[in-house]
Structure 1
Amino acid sequence: MANGSRQAAWEFFGAELKRRREESGLTQSALGMRVFVSGGYIGQFEQAIRKPQLDVAQRIDEVLQTGGFFERLCRQLIDDKRYADYFAAVVELEALATRICEFAPTLVPGLLQTAAYARAVTLAANPFVTDEYVEDIVGARLERAAILKDAARPEFWVTVHENVLYIPVGGPATMAEQLDHMARLMRDRQVLLTVLPYVAGAHATMGGMLTLMAFEDAPPTAYTEDAFSGTLVDEPLVVQRAHRAYDLIRAAALSPEASLALIESAAEDYRRCIATT
């Protein structure tokens, strides 16, 4: 489904929600209370600003007695094959976040990836797919990154392990371009990026990536991911523990200035590799 068509479908979802809510004689606040979200959330659903998660759509169906209408529509709309099922909700939340904090142990975070780097990552995981599939995935990743160019972009804090700089994804030319891109975003103050060096030793989320998101009018979330699955949670105690883990990682990282110098040095090393081949 094209982006424009998908947005139009979410607007239809919102219009139907408003119509059926009003037919039931419920205010946004009253419906929100019954489905365990705020009235402001319901208003954002109706305006297609925020997309409800599947469990919220199911509770709306129960309250409004719609026979599963909103669940079916929600399932169709979140079935975006460019994203793994467990990641689709994260993409929706990124666009609404006021602050995103991310730790990446092995790969450049998706929001920072160049097209060439994203293409190499996609092909490494999917060696038998068509060029069309690869370009669709790459396009989706670059589309996500557009939030960093928005005037209302979230604060974006990233810590990458030093691994990320030296795993040669796509080869020297791709890595030099990727690291230059990261350095440029740092200098333009679109991201505050630090590097967790090898000498830091063990760290708080050994083996997995971590994304924390904060919102203006919603509880914060934590998302963790390994090679084959991801988990998005908003349970306060779990999110609090995830924040503590991120704080420990950031405390062990290099300063932003030292991190920038290391990234630029690594990019230069890759350029030297290109020159000698």
Structure 2
Amino acid sequence: MPEVDVADRTFKKLRKSIADSKSLLEKHRLKGQSVIDAIDALTRLDKLVVDPSEEELQEIGVQFEKIRGGTDDIIKYVPLFADTVNQLGQWFEQTMMKRSLVVGRHTIEIEPIKTEGYILDIGGGGEGIIGRLNGRDAISIDLSFLTRQDNDSLKILMDATDLKFLSSQFDVAASFFTFMYIENNDHLKVFKEVHRVLKDRGRFLIWDSRIPERFEDKRFFVLPLEILLPDERVESVYGAKLDQQSLAYFKGLAARSGFEVVEEWVKNEIFFLEL
């Protein structure tokens, strides 16, 4: 069977599954906000999956994480919802792979951050690695948080380019593979805001990835990452637009915002900076 026919049948099956789940969920709308959120997300996804642009693919990723995080609650009312989520996940992964530069799997080992004060966790709404490491000592900010995230950090919805904290409040700030998700034009704003809220002699810890220039028809960068914590191993995939960044680029941002480099290392595509 031609590949195009298979893809078309798979896509039609996905659209039908979305429609069926929505229809069944509508009958349980009064069960709570999680059901309403799932209906809204599926409605949006049903439109986005039709020939999505780069920006729409990124929104699909956000919407998908929202519904995946609430799957356990929803399937109590609509068991079909689990199958819809699985189909969406497979379609999204296949679509992203076709448009992405995928680098080899990397492994990083990370220990709890030593500090006597609080840690500002920039972009802690995904896997929540800093929150897993330092628990209640971490204040995690992001534009959204996965509902399935399980750690003891304080979670606040906040834009890293406009931190709502007083100056000189934190001993440490950390960014674990977050800048790749922030528009390059906003990177300097984040650096300056972090510098403002750190105490004198405060530290800014950055883990991130080198991203090359765009080439051919690839529009996204995908980094499979194994994260080794003291008590667990986390398998994840970090993906973002193919916008160029490097260690040298971040060192330049650091110099422009008042930081000095204390430590740095590079391992294949990933790097670390302590400022």
TM-score, scaled relative to structure 1? 0.30
Q: Which of the pair has the greater relative contact order for Cα pairs under 8 Å at 6+ separation? A: 1
Write 1 or 2 for the structure with the bigger share of helix: 1
TM-score, scaled relative to structure 2? 0.30
Write 1 or 2 for the structure with the bigger share of strand: 2
